[in-house]
Structure 1
Amino acid sequence: MAFPDIEGGRPSNIPGIPNVVLDLWHEYRVSIIMTTLFALGMLRLYLHLTYTPEELRVFPKVYNKAPVDDVVEEKPRQSAKEEKAEVVNTSDAETKKAGVKQGPRRIKGDVSRKGRASPPVGNEASKTQILVFYSSLTATTEKIAQTFVQELAMALVPEEDSNSSFLQPQVLDLAEVDYDEYFITLPKPKDQPTNYFYLFLIPSYNIDSINDTFLDHLQETHHDFRIDTSPLAPILGYSVFGFGDKEGWPTEEEGFCFQAKEVDKWMAKLTGRKRAYPLGMGDWKRDGKERLAEWRDGLVDVLKQLHLTGNLGEGVPGSGDPLESDAEDEAGDDGEVLVEEGTAAPKPRKRRGSGGLQDVEDIGRVMELSRDDNDSIQKKSAAPLAIDFTTDGRRAANKSAPAPVKEMVPKNSPTYAALTKQGYSIVGSHSGVKICRWTKSALRGRGSCYKFSFYGINSHQCMEATPSLSCSNKCVFCWRHGTNPVGTTWRWTVDPPDLIFSGIKENHYKKIKMMRGVPGVRAERFAEALRIRHCALSLVGEPIFYPHINDLLALLHGERISSFLVCNAQHPDQLAALKHVTQLYVSIDAPDRESLRRIDRPLHRDFWERFLRCLDILRERRNKQRTVFRLTLVKGFNVDDAAEGYADLVERGMPCFVEVKGVTYCGTATSANAGLTMANVPFYQEVCDFVVALEKALRRRGLAYGIAAEHAHSCCILLASERFRVDGRWHTLIDYDRFFELLEEKGPDGDFGPEDYMGPPTPEWATWGNGGFDPRDQRVDRKGRPLEAAA
């Protein structure tokens, strides 16, 4: 084989290709390639600019309710894709006619997301079916269930209302129903869409019964990996009532209604926390019918709300581990946000000095600058000019014009945000209400406030509120984290008393109703809590700072709500003008001037003189009102060698009672900057030792006081005047009905004294040396584990 000769890197002789063409290619190939690429690029750009895309067409959903023929209608032109779609639609239509189910399969029993409202139930397309399940060995529960259903139907389904959204309730025996049909999936309605609401009437037995089988089924259903953990989530809600016998099982811990409690717990899991009303419990032989009637009335209210709103309302989910603490709920970082005029957004600025406490000038500037220009809330009431509560009027006299009237806590202010974050409901522009943790505890049968042990106050019927969020002190142990406003003069708008009264009641009831689904809430106490009987004006701030405090008290007393007012002994003129209250407290936080300045950090320069004047006023009124000195012991501040100094103050004020309580540390930066730590919280034994020393100091002065009662759970002890010791027994409780009778007979300025409405003897379990914990309740630790009551 002969190879061509190579000359200059090119073949000299290739058959079929002239040498001239090869020469031209090798000489101009770069230019030719570049020109070709440029031409192709221009062609692609031209096609891209002139191309008009066709309308996007997709395959119709074959499982839509509309007929397939209605999905694709007019077609201006046919294409290969459209022809293919027609073939698919035709095939799917034929399949649909053949009865084959198309589309994705819907999974039932999915847990509804938090916050999602249930579908409305009060319409023609959907009815509510109440199913009442019961178990019985002697047919007694069956008879009760039949009567219960009749009464429930009369309340929900009137005979004249044929279009009611509620169907006639049905009674079902747990021994006869198919559990899979009712407790894994929901019954399938025959005629129309139906929403289900489950009720249970469960007696507890200490022998094998259908209850054991039913509870085993609920537990196995929840743990079965093949079934959703909450297969009953689609129901509207559920509630359980248990019957028991306290002769055989005296307490809940010993088995009273224990199987009803188990049903309530497992239904909470299977329904995705849809407890509509607290667990009710009644004794067969004592109060079973009364407790069942209360439970039924509460359910009627819930079902009517469900009919109107389509959901169970705002509230705490109906299951889960309860959160409980001995201290107030603590907020996060409440750093101040200052807003300057002309800026688009607020900028955070670090505070100096007081560690988060807002001074008088800063509070005023924050509230004034953060208010909207178009805010017209001030126009709703004609507020008076700024009122000076100080005795020194020189500062006010030097002003050429009164300070501008503004709101104390505007809704768009950092103060409002901080207080609402801590759980307060702001009423109007300067009042507030918050549910007490002892109210929550009493609702669950876990103990009541010391006021129940000392004075007979039902904690679950007590409302804690204030008509003034502002205070003239910045106490180192304040639970409010320094977020409430402070000041010595009232320079804000004044809301009318009726607005405050209606607002605090409404918001308190809302907070009570939010406890409806909490595990352990007792149905009978929940029903009682919807009737306020007591009001503690001690939430935050200074109640007598409010200019119309006597009018507010009259509204409370008009509805037979007792009043417990707490002041900080810094407003003697307002204290002297105060009319009858059920019980008047004055905070005595230190025995001398320097200690008071360190602990209370008052804003008034003449704070000590004001303090002593308030004690003198209490001494003058000791025969007209029940007066109380409240001592808060802070270790390292006012405990060591302070008994003698406190005894001097008691001798000056001569109160009816002296409450001695250890401080509760709230753990905030405010407390830390004031030098307060957990080391300043006294042990209960230290509080007891201090009270014993104080009693001896009073006896040496010839003052007739004795240790009357204690509440070890809240580290509080009560010293009482011998005026309240009758026939060797202390009578520290209050006869509230008699108080209101005297008030109606003699008026708010009437001449009657504390002995006139002295109540029955103090319970033995509340007296000194017996712990003070209500034996009807169960004491628990912070994690809800039972503890033995203090001996």
Structure 2
Amino acid sequence: MAPPNVLSLPEELLLIWHSHRLELLLSAGVLVACVRLAIHWRQTRRKAVLTPPLGTPMDEKVPIVTKNDLLEADHYTPVDFTTPIPRTVAKPGPKRVTGVRKTRATPRLPREDVNVSDITIQPLIFYFSLGGTTKGYAEQLLHLPSPHPSILPPILHDLTELDYDDFFISPPLPPTPNTLYFYTLLIPSYDISTDLDNFLDHLKETHHDFRIDTAPLSGLAGYAVFGFGDREGWPDEKEGFGKDAVAVDRWMARLTGGKRAFPLGVGDVSGDGDGEERLGEWREGVSGILKDLVEGRGLGEGVAGSGEALESGDEDDEGGEDIAGSAATRAKAGSRSRTGDLEDIKPSVPVDFTTTAVAKIKEMVPVNSPTYTSLTKQGYTIVGSHSGVKLCRWTKSALRGRGSCYKFSFYGIASHRCMEATPSLSCSNKCVFCWRHGTNPVSTTWRWKVDDPREIFDGMKEGHYRKIKMLRGVPGVRAERFREGMEVRHCALSLVGEPIFYPRINELLAMLHAERISTFLVCNAQHPDHLAALNHVTQLYVSIDASNAESLKRIDRPLHRDYWERFLRCMDILRAKRFEQRTVFRLTLVKGFNIEEEVDGYAALVERARPSFVEVKGVTYCGTATGKGAGLSMGNVPFYEEITEFVLGLEKALLRRGLDYGIGAEHKHSCCVLLADRGRYFQAGEDGVGRWHTLIDYPAFFECLESGKPFGPEDYIGGPTPEWAAWGNGGFDPRDERVDRKGRPKIES
């Protein structure tokens, strides 16, 4: 038993702690400080070893070259990046990986044959204003002196008076090849709905349109946005101050591929606001950037608000989508080489679509693309990478004996033996009435892989026959027509897109003709060079959707800037071809777009091109189309009585010009009427009675083609147009039965 005055060990330790806890805590603190100082000293010493002091003599070393440095140089030779690049370090020691901000030694030139000293900048000032405040500020910018001789006087544009497609799908044509545009946007914010909402919707639609390149405005030298707001109503950005300017800045960053030249500026225009002061500071910054551009220093890279599409706080977007995509996507968009798409060359210059873009070969419609998915859902069979075939509703109708296409009434084409296909799903227009609802690709240049015409031809037939076979179990299909349908005799190259866009279209036509398949080819009058080079087809169509430049732009929404000049060249080419083959004007009438007061304009076009036939057809409503100026509804579909009234007016207008065209046939069910050249296709029969001869003698056409001798459309004119297709008789084949939408016999009133 321990003596009472002897303490146990825990009690001794507790006594020591209570007696000397202050000294122990101080000692522990000193020990920790010594350890941290030792670690810091060792790190500093290592850094001194790896990084020689300034002024230390250095041996000559091999420069470190990166792949990005070579890609961004103005002139470079191909380099094998699989071979390691020699590197050196200052002194032996542990390997150290460091990050270095990329710099650009010289600016990227708009074209290799343009010097930096020759570049000029054309500023464009866009503004929106309800009360006139923003307009006043815009006019102030307009009259400021230019900071450099190579910066041209700015041009002012009111967003309410613009067609957005002219400036915000691709940059406008520059006055000279070495001129670059710079966009300045002054955007106010309102708490009411205004036309500015339409502008924002247009930017959003352009960005989300997968048929348009990721950065369609990358041809700009840069852009800058300044917003005006009222802090009395919206104290800060989170509550809406400058909200519309923020939105415009975000969309412009996407559309330009990250060419924000100066950070977004916002000013308060309320009573005691700082609007003018903030605008002045922003203006000086933008002027400095413009001066840097013309002096070859570029926009810079990697700095928020200087060429980077993403700024702090912009990561969240509608639907959770990242504004500028992944970092890899942004890097890819910012490092495009000169061998990219022709539409991305800076500055934008007129490009002939017949010249294939020198770019990485890609497929027009890859299997895993949204275009492929969308078109497949609509019933297309995609052939190869850029062609397609689809079963026409008239083919299915004719197989069941429920009526044929108007081409049967007009030209004798058996609808159940007709294949509707296209060798190019891409088009250069974005027509408001497009029945594909804007799902097909659009482009002004062929920049894709070119499939072999034999593969396209075989794929088209295989896809068509496979779809015909699927109908053999459908009630009402007539056995004899099904059997005939398994042998295609006609091909309508008018499915979607632009058939003559395909570079090897003539080879495909030769394969069709070799199997005695007639060809009805439809083009949109935007590719005159290909039209001129086109070989014989059975019948050549040109879509005439308007009679003047303004109306054509509004309804077809062409991508080519010189669309009207191209259109008129096609008219002249069609006139030259009229003695070689049958030519047709196809007028698609859309109420509210191209009918009212345009009869004389259409007559002038007919006089210029002198086509064999003029088809006048009402637009088919296929659901609401979207986009600026579109928004079609059933109200835009003309009644048949309106079509006939227009045709009679056009016939009179042509007679006034000395052109003898008459109504050769009609197809009321398709809301379509045919005008024909009376001097060529109205002939007297053996009984001496004059009749229209709009039908085609198909065996005679192939005999003429196989003879190798020159021939014209008169050499394969067929028999008289059926009486039931003549004017006033409706145009429905009496051998078929017309039904309503539920398949019940339709009784004509």
TM-score (norm 1): 0.51
Is the Cα contact below 8 Å between 1:386 and 1:490 reproduced in 2?
A: no
Rounded to whole Å, the distance in 2 between the matches of 1:725 and 1:514 is: 42
Aligned twin of 1:731: 693
Is the Cα contact below 8 Å between 1:710 and 1:768 reproduced in 2?
A: yes
Aligned twin of 2:711: 752
Aligned twin of 1:613: 569
Rounded to whole Å, the distance in 2 between the matches of 1:650 and 1:640 is: 18
Cα separation, partners in 2 of 1:395 and 1:784, compared to 1, 3 Å: same
Rounded to whole Å, the distance in 2 between the matches of 1:543 and 1:762 is: 29
Rounded to whole Å, the distance in 1 between the matches of 2:624 and 2:599 is: 29
Offset from partner CA, 1:120-165 (integer Å, 9 cap, x none): xxxxxxxxxxxxxxxxxxxxxxxxxxxxxxxxxxxxxxxxxxxxxx
Amino acid at match of 1:712: K
Rounded to whole Å, the distance in 2 between the matches of 1:395 and 1:770 is: 49
Q: Percent identity, please.
A: 71
Aligned twin of 1:664: 620
1:783 equivalent in alignment to 2:748: no
Amino acid at match of 1:575: L
Rounded to whole Å, the distance in 2 between the matches of 1:387 and 1:560 is: 38
Aligned twin of 2:728: 769
What are the residue-to-residue correspondences of 1:42-191 with 2, within 5 Å? none
Rounded to whole Å, the distance in 2 between the matches of 1:532 and 1:787 is: 30
Cα separation, partners in 2 of 1:387 and 1:622, compared to 1, 3 Å: farther
Residue 535 of structure 1 deviates from its aligned partner by: 0.1
Rounded to whole Å, the distance in 1 between the matches of 2:724 and 2:207 is: 43
Amino acid at match of 2:716: Y
Which SS does the other structure have where 2:532 is aligned? helix
Rounded to whole Å, the distance in 1 between the matches of 2:626 and 2:208 is: 6
Residue 668 of structure 1 deviates from its aligned partner by: 2.9
TM-score (norm 2): 0.54
1:406 equivalent in alignment to 2:362: yes
Aligned twin of 1:48: none
Is the Cα contact below 8 Å between 2:616 and 2:673 reproduced in 1?
A: yes
Amino acid at match of 2:528: P
Residue 665 of structure 1 deviates from its aligned partner by: 1.2
What are the residue-to-residue correspondences of 1:385-784 with 2, within 5 Å? 394=349, 402-670=358-626, 674-722=630-678, 723-727=680-684, 728-746=690-708, 750-784=709-743
Offset from partner CA, 1:710-763 (integer Å, 9 cap, x none): 0000100000001100011000000000000000002xxx42111100000000
Residue 666 of structure 1 deviates from its aligned partner by: 1.2
Aligned twin of 1:292: none
Offset from partner CA, 1:667-688 (integer Å, 9 cap, x none): 1342786132211110000000
Residue 350 of structure 1 deviates from its aligned partner by: 12
Aligned twin of 1:52: none
Which SS does the other structure have where 1:485 is aligned? coil
Rounded to whole Å, the distance in 2 between the matches of 1:413 and 1:353 is: 18
Residue 354 of structure 1 deviates from its aligned partner by: 5.3
Cα separation, partners in 2 of 1:786 and 1:414, compared to 1, 3 Å: same
What are the residue-to-residue correspondences of 1:293-308 with 2, within 5 Å? none
Residue 415 of structure 1 deviates from its aligned partner by: 0.6
Residue 595 of structure 1 deviates from its aligned partner by: 0.4
Which SS does the other structure have where 2:484 is aligned? helix
Rounded to whole Å, the distance in 2 between the matches of 1:504 and 1:386 is: 29
Cα separation, partners in 2 of 1:356 and 1:779, compared to 1, 3 Å: farther
Rounded to whole Å, the distance in 1 between the matches of 2:348 and 2:705 is: 36
Amino acid at match of 2:653: A
Which SS does the other structure have where 2:568 is aligned? helix
Rounded to whole Å, the distance in 2 between the matches of 1:709 and 1:385 is: 50
1:360 equivalent in alignment to 2:319: no
Rounded to whole Å, the distance in 2 between the matches of 1:439 and 1:469 is: 21
Amino acid at match of 1:581: V
Rounded to whole Å, the distance in 2 between the matches of 1:671 and 1:771 is: 36
Is the Cα contact below 8 Å between 1:355 and 1:669 reproduced in 2?
A: no
Residue 537 of structure 1 deviates from its aligned partner by: 0.2
Q: Rg: which structure is higher?
A: 1
Residue 362 of structure 1 deviates from its aligned partner by: 3.8
Cα separation, partners in 2 of 1:355 and 1:759, compared to 1, 3 Å: farther
Cα separation, partners in 2 of 1:569 and 1:363, compared to 1, 3 Å: farther
Cα separation, partners in 2 of 1:635 and 1:464, compared to 1, 3 Å: same
Is the Cα contact below 8 Å between 1:355 and 1:673 reproduced in 2?
A: no
Cα separation, partners in 2 of 1:427 and 1:488, compared to 1, 3 Å: same
Residue 358 of structure 1 deviates from its aligned partner by: 3.9
Which SS does the other structure have where 1:629 is aligned? strand
Is the Cα contact below 8 Å between 2:624 and 2:632 reproduced in 1?
A: no
Residue 458 of structure 1 deviates from its aligned partner by: 0.2
Amino acid at match of 2:376: T
Is the Cα contact below 8 Å between 2:202 and 2:628 reproduced in 1?
A: no
Rounded to whole Å, the distance in 1 between the matches of 2:746 and 2:627 is: 31
Q: What is the aligned-residue RMSD (CA, Å)?
A: 2.9
Offset from partner CA, 1:644-700 (integer Å, 9 cap, x none): 110000000000000000001111342786132211110000000000000000000
Is the Cα contact below 8 Å between 1:765 and 1:772 reproduced in 2?
A: yes
Cα separation, partners in 2 of 1:776 and 1:363, compared to 1, 3 Å: farther
Is the Cα contact below 8 Å between 1:444 and 1:522 reproduced in 2?
A: yes
Is the Cα contact below 8 Å between 1:432 and 1:467 reproduced in 2?
A: yes
Rounded to whole Å, the distance in 2 between the matches of 1:356 and 1:757 is: 49
Rounded to whole Å, the distance in 2 between the matches of 1:350 and 1:604 is: 19
Rounded to whole Å, the distance in 2 between the matches of 1:386 and 1:664 is: 35
Offset from partner CA, 1:273-329 (integer Å, 9 cap, x none): xxxxxxxxxxxxxxxxxxxxxxxxxxxxxxxxxxxxxxxxxxxxxxxxxxxxxxxxx
Rounded to whole Å, the distance in 1 between the matches of 2:438 and 2:509 is: 27
Amino acid at match of 1:724: Y
Is the Cα contact below 8 Å between 1:354 and 1:673 reproduced in 2?
A: no
Rounded to whole Å, the distance in 2 between the matches of 1:350 and 1:771 is: 43
Cα separation, partners in 2 of 1:519 and 1:689, compared to 1, 3 Å: same
Residue 387 of structure 1 deviates from its aligned partner by: 8.7
Amino acid at match of 1:730: W
Aligned twin of 2:4: none
Which SS does the other structure have where 1:490 is aligned? coil
Rounded to whole Å, the distance in 2 between the matches of 1:724 and 1:512 is: 35
Rounded to whole Å, the distance in 1 between the matches of 2:475 and 2:361 is: 47
Is the Cα contact below 8 Å between 2:364 and 2:449 reproduced in 1?
A: yes
Cα separation, partners in 2 of 1:405 and 1:528, compared to 1, 3 Å: same
Amino acid at match of 1:582: T
Rounded to whole Å, the distance in 2 between the matches of 1:545 and 1:387 is: 16
Rounded to whole Å, the distance in 1 between the matches of 2:342 and 2:502 is: 10
Offset from partner CA, 1:569-601 (integer Å, 9 cap, x none): 000000000010000000000000000000000
Which SS does the other structure have where 2:663 is aligned? strand
Residue 430 of structure 1 deviates from its aligned partner by: 0.3
Residue 352 of structure 1 deviates from its aligned partner by: 1.9
Is the Cα contact below 8 Å between 1:453 and 1:773 reproduced in 2?
A: yes
Amino acid at match of 1:775: P
Amino acid at match of 1:757: Y
